[in-house]
Structures are given as C-alpha cells and as structure tokens.
Amino acid sequence: MTTTHADYRLSQLDQLEAESIHIFREVAAEFEKPVLMFSGGKDSIVMLRLAEKAFYPAKIPFPVLQIDTGLDFPEVLETRDNWVGRLGVKLVVASIDDAIANGVVIDDGKTSRNRMQTATLLNAIEENGFTAAFGGGRRDEEKARAKERVYSHRDEFGQWDPKMQRPELWSLYNGRIHAGEHMRIFPISNWTELDIWDYIGREGIEIPDIYFSHQRRVFERDGMLMSETPLNPLREGETVEERTVRFRTCGDISLTGCVESTASTIPEIIAEISIAKLTERGATRGDDRFSEAAMEDRKKEGYF
C-alpha cells in the first residue's frame, strides 16, 4: 500500500516572504513608533505589500515616510498615492524644499538633492519621534549594503558604525536603544533584484510604468542615459535623442539614469537582469559613482 505525505517545504519566494513578514511583526511588537520609508519605487512597494500581508485583515499599524526631493518622477508619485489611498495608511512627506526654508539643510548650489535627503530624513525621524525606520536595502544592491544586518543601530546623531553591529544569531534581533537613538530595519535584506521581480509578478503588484520599456527623449552624461527634463538642463555638447529605454531604479530624476531595453513584461525584465553584469545602482545612480565608498560614507552619515 502506497503512503503519501504533504510536502511542507516552502519555495524560495515563500521563505523570503515569511522571513520579511516575521521581521515586520517583530518590529511592530517591539518598537514604540516605527515608520516605513516609502519612495514609490519597486523595493519600497514590495515592502508595503509585505507589511499589508503581515497585519491583514487589520490596517498597517504605522505610517509611511517619503523624503521629497522635488525631483521625483511623476509616475512614481502617482503610484505612491495609489498605494497610500488603497491601503489607507498615513503618509508623512518630508520635503527638502521645506528643510532648506527652515535651515535644516543648506543649499550651496553644488550638493545634489539626493545627498540632501540625509539631513532631511534625520530631521523627520527626530521631529516625529520614530524609533524604527524600515528601509528597502538589499544585499545585492551595493557592496556597502552587504555590511549591514537586518537591525541596524543608529546613534543619537543618526549615524551608523559598521564596527558596532549587533549579532543576529538564529534570527534573534536586539532592538534595545537609548533615548534619541533609533533602528533602521531591512526586511528585504536577503532578497535580490530577481527575487523582487519574481514577487512582483507572482503577486500582481502595481509599480510605476517607467520600469517597463517605453520611448523617452534622453541624452548621455557620464556614461548614463538621462531623461530630458527642465529639472536637468543640458550641458554643452549634450544632445537629445529618442530611444527605447526603461528604468531599473527610481530616484532623483537629475541623477537616475535609464538603460536601453525592449523588456516590456515582467518575464522579459527577469530574463534581462539575470544576465546583467552591473547592479541597478552601479549602472544608473549618479551619486553612487563618486567614489568606491560613496554609499558607505553616506550610510555612516545617516543615509538610507
């Protein structure tokens, strides 16, 4: 007589999802006032979907925070508003323009809006009393990301010391903090770009359409294709042409490049990035190209 048994092994995506949901629930139980940093890009949207699942059928028990550079893609802001409206979560917007007006950030005419996000973020965390902030960092995204653990301690100045990280044996997290300190939490730390796209496809998740192939007027700068926009004036010698492109990541429109691509569906995007030799940030984020340690230096200062 043949006996059968249920196969309780989870797929890779199911394991990643379960781990992320566990992290969201741990933080909600442990910290007094968490917040989810939400840009409207694919990683933060996946995090919001995971948070939705973690607390369903109840509402997500914390707000979402966007740092508004004033240079965001309109398509990204539209998608952000769609998600916030559908889930009924509170949206806190920390504007760099307001930070400049209030003297929190000094605009010297040289520093990019992307780099001004750090002080704006730290000010928003302090003003609102947030004790934990969920971020969408992945370990395959940039080498400095791989140095951080799921719980990342930040001191009273919002700074990160990679030499003072706490052990996370058996996925046990130490969230103890002193007054004025906070934690950055990375629920998708063990995900890759491919995992994100697999999950988006499986869950039917709404993302900005600029992630898919489209026609766009672009120009080349520093080896990247940049969007033609009044927010990013042409320099001498730069010429605009229309190409078939898509974005792998969405940030400051004046610093985020696109890649030539005909991938217009999720399976086509998965096939494309599975053979890509550059990470999304290394290929298309201008601020991450200033030096070998650009990302790590900014993270030590308090960046995402």
pLDDT of residue 32: 94
Distances, alpha carbon 282 to alpha carbons 49, 114, 140, 146, 169, in Å: 26, 15, 11, 14, 31
Q: Report whether 146 contacts 295 (CB < 8 A).
A: no
The distance between the two most distant Cα atoms of the chain, rounded to a whole number of Å, is 81
Distance separating alpha carbons of residues 129 and 127, to the nearest angstrom:
6
The most confident of the ranges 37-51, 150-164, 167-181, 284-298 is: 37-51
Distance CA 170, CA 203 (A): 29
pLDDT above 70 coverage of the chain, percent: 88
d(CA 60, CA 38): 13
Q: SS3 for 108?
A: coil
Please tell me which residue, 288 or 298, carries the higher pLDDT value.
298
Quick one: pLDDT band at residue 7, thresholds 50, 70, 90?
low
Q: Cis ω on the peptide bond leading into residue 57 (within 30° of 0)?
A: yes
pTM summary value = 0.88
Q: In the structure, what pLDDT confidence band is assigned to residue 139 with cuts at 50, 70 and 90?
A: confident
The tens digit of pLDDT for each residue in 218-253 reads 999 988 899 998 888 898 999 999 999 999 988 888
* Residue 288 · residue 216 · CB < 8 Å: no
Question: Structure tokens of 135?
Answer: 């971020």
Please tell me which residue, 117 or 303, carries the higher pLDDT value.
117
Which tokens belong to 198?
Answer: 């697999």
pLDDT digits (tens, 9 = 90+) for 86-113: 999 999 999 998 999 988 888 877 777 7
- Please tell me the predicted confidence (pLDDT) of residue 2: 62
Helix axes of 294-301 and 113-128: crossing angle, nearest 10 degrees: 30
Q: What confidence category does residue 289 fall into, taking pLDDT thresholds of 50, 70 and 90?
A: very low
Could you tell me the end-to-end alpha-carbon distance of the chain, in angstroms, rounded to an integer? 58
290 pLDDT exceeds 50?
no
What is the Cα 169 distance to its own chain's centre? 25
Q: Which DSSP category does 285 fall into?
A: B
Q: Which residue has the tokens 């940093």?
A: 37
Q: Which amino acid is at 154?
A: R
